[in-house]
Amino acid sequence: MVGTLESSDIQIGLSPNPGGGLDIQLQSVVKAQFGDAIVATITEVLESFGIKDATVNAVDRGALEWIIRARMQAVCCYATGTQFEWKGEDK
């Protein structure tokens, strides 16, 4: 699980769902307005990691898209043992 339940953040849990496809459970203070976009971002990140069978529990408190994406990438890295190779600018 990553993230917090603070305002403007999202808490995301990811667990296996063998053979069950993607099951995305979203609770959000802005679900009526942005629920479809939040689910699309979650799905896009899962696909980028090749995750096809998982349960996602997300509790959103008004997080911006880039925060949702970052939290999803972090939880996917934890789940898959993947690491990003961060490269800074040469000075």
In this predicted structure, the answer to whether residue 88 has a pLDDT above a threshold of 90 is no
For the whole model, what pTM was predicted? 0.89
Q: Give the C-alpha distances (Å, rounded to integers) separating 87 from 6, 34, 84, 90.
A: 30, 32, 9, 9
Residue 40 has what pLDDT? 98
Residue 89 has what pLDDT? 67
Count the neighbouring beta carbons within 10 Å of the beta carbon of residue 45: 21
Q: CATH top-level class for 10-80?
A: alpha beta
Residue 76 has what pLDDT? 95
What pLDDT, in 10s, does the model give residues 15-50?
999 999 999 999 999 999 999 999 999 999 999 999
In this predicted structure, the answer to whether residue 8 has a pLDDT above a threshold of 60 is yes
What pLDDT, in 10s, does the model give residues 46-87?
999 999 999 999 999 999 999 999 999 999 999 988 887 776
